[in-house]
Amino acid sequence: MEKNTDPDVRRITGVDPHQSTGENTDRDRDAADPTAQGPNAAGPTAHGRSTDDITGHATDDTADIGADQRAGSRPAGRPGPLSGRIALVAGATRGAGRALAVELGRAGAVVYVTGRTTREHVSEVGRATETIEQTAEAVTEAGGTGIAVPTDHLDQDRVRALVRRIDHERGRLDILVNDLWGGEHLTAESVFGKKSWETPLADGLRILELGVRSHVITAALALPLLIRSREPLHVEVTDGTAAFNRRYRENLYYDLAKNAPIRIAFGLGQELAEYGGTAVAVTPGFLRSEQMLAHFGVGEENWRDAVARDPHFAVAESPWYLARAVAALAADPDRAARWNGKSTSSAELAEVYGVRDVDGSRPDAWSYFEDVVYGGKGGSPDDYR
């Protein structure tokens, strides 16, 4: 493949998680070259993560959570590698957040899951097809204990109440996953294709609230409970590795929002070290979240049909890829030495822990974009699966 030199390169599919909202318009999706932002900047969310929530990312109906989520439930009575662990996945309504919660549950953990969309209330994202109750049920079905706690993580009182509840019911927290975003409705209209001064200031500041302030609030209020654990684990979910994000992510607000979690993990890694803890930033590759699939008009069973529209989508991965890898990291007794303060990806974790995606592949979207799309090396997405 020839090196991409188009100065108007924008994003992978045309609409920007944790980490994809069906509310974005099509105005810029097909007009822009889909490579500048990296594997996830385009479809529904930057990384296809939970998009419903500041707390909390399919096809048209996700009331049935899908065969891949149900498959492989831990046999009753058999302890998993995370049995007895208490986890909080902040931002678990859909996408990577939901998958992370389910895989932690499959490994035996008690998992508190937060989000803003419930069976009674739909958040500003406007997707009623995924709810936080569904995620909790999926965790329990997989063999864990799922507990849904509707929470807006920009509301400090609500987050304090969440932490008090976990303290009262469990006495500690072992794993905190910060998978908070929900800014896709802003990136489509106000970020991609615009200079930062062309972005309405209110929208830019809202992106920083959703992508940075929510993470800081959650960490600040939950960490006193987390450090009661013998081996506390703090996971920041973002879009892009530290290496890839040395590239400017097109717009100042988006760049700050997606780099801040990496710095949070680095800083907290310093602070948690004396407690035997680990803080790590993780990113999926080009994520086949519910909202990304809906953006392309496909489902998980026929996702490759979307490659005709965007050839880069051939390197896409399911949310289960990152989730399986993070569950393996959480069960690793040497994780602090390996990962504390670092930034990593689903592909790197999969290589270390022998994890594969649901189709048996091991995609590496970030290397594909670095080598082929930007580096001008010959190759195709299939060479990076």
Q: Please tell me the predicted confidence (pLDDT) of residue 74.
A: 64
Q: Mean pLDDT across the stretch 230-247?
A: 97
The answer to pTM > 0.95 is: no
Where is pLDDT greater, at 305 or 126?
Answer: 305
> Which residues lie closer than 8 Å to 332 by C-beta, 6 or more apart?
338, 353
Specify whether the CB–CB gap between 90 and 180 falls below 8 A. yes
Specify whether the CB–CB gap between 106 and 144 falls below 8 A. yes
The tens digit of pLDDT for each residue in 156-177 reads 999 999 999 999 999 999 999 9
Q: Please tell me the predicted confidence (pLDDT) of residue 280.
A: 98
Tell which residue, 166, 10, 157, 132, has the closest CA to residue 62: 132
Q: Please tell me the predicted confidence (pLDDT) of residue 32.
A: 35
Q: Mean pLDDT across the stretch 301-321?
A: 97
- Give the pLDDT band of residue 72 (cuts 50, 70, 90): low
Q: Please tell me the predicted confidence (pLDDT) of residue 24.
A: 30
Q: Using only C-alpha atoms, what is the Rg of the chain?
A: 19
pLDDT tops 70 at residue 216: yes
Both structure tokens of 368: 């594909």
Per-residue DSSP letter, 78? P
The tens digit of pLDDT for each residue in 189-200 reads 899 899 999 999
pLDDT tops 90 at residue 260: yes
Catalogue the E-assigned strands of 179-290: 233-237, 278-283
The tens digit of pLDDT for each residue in 121-131 reads 988 776 788 89
- Give the pLDDT band of residue 187 (cuts 50, 70, 90): confident
The tens digit of pLDDT for each residue in 283-296 reads 999 999 988 898 89
Where is pLDDT greater, at 205 or 16?
Answer: 205
Catalogue the E-assigned strands of the chain: 86-90, 110-114, 145-148, 175-178, 233-237, 278-283, 343-345
Mean residue pLDDT across the chain: 84
Q: Please tell me the predicted confidence (pLDDT) of residue 189.
A: 82
Spatial distance between the Cα atoms of 334 and 276, rounded to a whole number of angstroms? 10
Q: What is the DSSP string of 90-127?
A: ES-SSHHHHHHHHHHHHTT-EEEEE-S--SS---TT--
Q: Please tell me the predicted confidence (pLDDT) of residue 77.
A: 62
- CA 21 vs CA 107, 155, 219, 258, 355: distances in Å: 29, 22, 25, 17, 28
